[in-house]
Amino acid sequence: MNEKNHPKRKALIRLVMVGIMLLLLNITSSRLHKAFDSTSEKRFSLCQPTKTLLKNLKDVAVIEVYLKGTFPAGFQRLSEATRDVLQEFKEVGGNKIRFEFINPMEGKDEKGKNAVYTQLAEKGINPVNLKVQGDEEEGYSEKIIFPAASISYNNKETSISLLEGHLSMSPQERLNYSEAMLEYKLASAIKYLIQPDKKKIAYIIGNGEHIGMNTIDMLSTLEKYYDVDTLFLNQTIAIQKIYSAAIICGPDSAFDEKNKFKIDQYIMNGGKMLWMLDQLRFDMDSLKGGGGASMAVDYGLNLDDMLFKYGVRINSDLIEDYQQCNPIPVTVGVVGNQPDIKLLPWVYHPFSISTSKHPIVNNLDAVMFLNANSIDTIANLEIKKTILLSSSNRSRRMPSPVRISLSNLKFKPQADMFREKNIPMAVLLEGKFGSAYVNRLDPHFLDIYMDSLRQNYLTACEKPNSMIVVSDADVFTNDFVQARGPLECGYYKFTEQLFANKSFLLNCMEYLTDDFGLLEARNKNLQLRLLDTTRTKQERLQWQLINIALPILLLLCFASASFFFRRKKYEGRVD
């Protein structure tokens, strides 16, 4: 028999060729990797701003994730989801992305563990104490983990928490939300490190704006991400273009036309604005005297014409919210010699839970308001209006002048009296704004402004611009307690609940100033697919057999059939 046609030689040649083909295919797939995301929520896809950020990296970003080890199913899934996102980062960023999963407590004695606690705490990383269920005899055991990551880039370092969530979320929902936020948090941390200089923003004062101990928390937070300047509007000729955005928070006196013109031209020249305005003057302390009643009257800020031109109107009224409001302490009687104080719902202190899918408020927890006004949007085809925050489905407006009295708490409010739905309290405006001073200026003034002062006068924005209008300045403020000092922005001391005011304001500023547009990554919603625990217990054996025994049985059947037909094929042949 010819040696070249020998079956064993043919089999050996085929085996070698298959091996070479597999090797070439492996090399090619490693170099030309392409993934297809068939999930409805695009779970395994990065948004375009994130891809642009990663493709433009000049240095290597090193990411250390402290989620290595054995965890309960939820945290194991979070660890695997983090690895998947980082692998996508590496696919786009190439060798500019390096990541590693570590267990900071591995191999450490008690003294070493204390040192790790201190080291991570200095980075702003706090541990989470998990209760892990063991066998029925062992019960629960405790395990300390660090759901966080440290990112280093160009000799700078920052840390992020991978575990996020809202107060109203269940543990499963919180882990699911954390998974949805992974891309945004990691990309934002890298963006924070690659920007050599902080963007400048102006906090405008001069008309009685909030400044001092009641704004210290939010201003201190902004200074971590921006170069914040306090700008006296009366002492400047114009708001300079060096400011990426400007904030006006809680003025209590009228703006003159000169200062309004400065703001107007800053907007026309591309400046972003965050307005937080109260139309009515009211202080809760005024209820302590005067029989527990007071009037809320108009400030007269003289900004209505400007805001109307830009696309909104803040009304001289107060929103009463029956469904979503915070309580206040009220003395309802005397028990013995002590006053009987109870927390009763106060309809003038609403909080907003946004249903909008806009990245500023998507997946955002409730935002607290105190004495908010309603906002109307004005018909203007060139301006796009997006309602960011609004009241509940059971609310109403009380027009100025409003008499506010604690005696109203004696009577339980009737739900059918609150018939308005979703009254706007925060609006995003986008488009080419027109100047509020078109055909209103003296030609002689314009000559001086443009020639002598060398300022550029524009009647409209040359490029699309954006601003955000919020109808309550208290969104920005923090409370102050003598024994504790300044509290956190959004913290309501009577219920000890922390609202998402700070996150909302940071998202507003990022949307207004961010050139990358990374907030788009916050739009990712991952559908929570929970197992039916009762059914899993009842059908446990069935699914174990399907997932473990059935594949083995099929493999044995396939092998037996292959052996049978191969034997049949070569039976009776003689070499």
Rounded to two decimals, what is the model's pTM?
0.77
Range in 85-89, 172-176, 449-453, 486-490 the model is least confident about: 172-176
Token pair in block for residue 426 = 């925060």
pLDDT for position 133: 56
46/58 Cα distance (integer angstroms): 20
270/227 Cα distance (integer angstroms): 18
300/476 Cα distance (integer angstroms): 21
pLDDT for position 528: 47
The mean pLDDT of 43-69, rounded to a whole number, is: 86
503/227 Cα distance (integer angstroms): 18
pLDDT for position 5: 57
pLDDT for position 254: 95
Task: Give Cα 537 to chain centroid, integer Å.
Answer: 37
What one-character-per-residue DSSP string does 381-445 give? TTEEEEEEEE--SSEEEEESSEEEEGGGGGSPPPGGG--B---EEEEEEEE-PBPTTTTTS-HHH
Please, which residues bridge with residue 298 across strands?
280
pLDDT for position 288: 73
pLDDT for position 3: 54
The mean pLDDT of 345-366, rounded to a whole number, is: 90
Range in 273-287, 311-325, 386-400, 458-472 the model is least confident about: 273-287
Q: What share of the chain is helix, strand, coil (3-state, %, to 5)?
A: 35, 25, 35
Q: Which percentage of the chain shows pLDDT scores above 90?
A: 42
Highest mean pLDDT among 9-23, 128-142, 390-404: 390-404
- Residue recorded with tokens 């308001």: 369
pLDDT for position 24: 80
At residue 271, does pLDDT exceed 60?
yes
At residue 13, does pLDDT exceed 70?
yes
Tens digits of residue pLDDT in 327-336 = 998 887 777 7
Query: Do the Cβ atoms of 361 and 350 come closer than 8 Å?
Result: no
Range in 418-432, 450-464, 490-504, 512-526 the model is least confident about: 512-526
The mean pLDDT of 143-165, rounded to a whole number, is: 85
Q: Which percentage of the chain shows pLDDT scores above 70?
A: 88
Tens digits of residue pLDDT in 440-474 = 888 888 888 888 778 888 999 999 999 999 999 99
- Which amino acid, 479? D
pLDDT band at 134 (very low <50, low <70, confident <90, very high): low
Q: Which domains does the chain have, with CATH numbers?
A: 42-193 (3.40.30.10), 197-499 (no CATH)
Tens digits of residue pLDDT in 230-245 = 999 999 989 998 999 9
Please provide the average confidence, as pLDDT, over all residues in the chain: 85
pLDDT for position 430: 96
pLDDT for position 230: 95
| First and final C-alpha spacing in the chain | 7
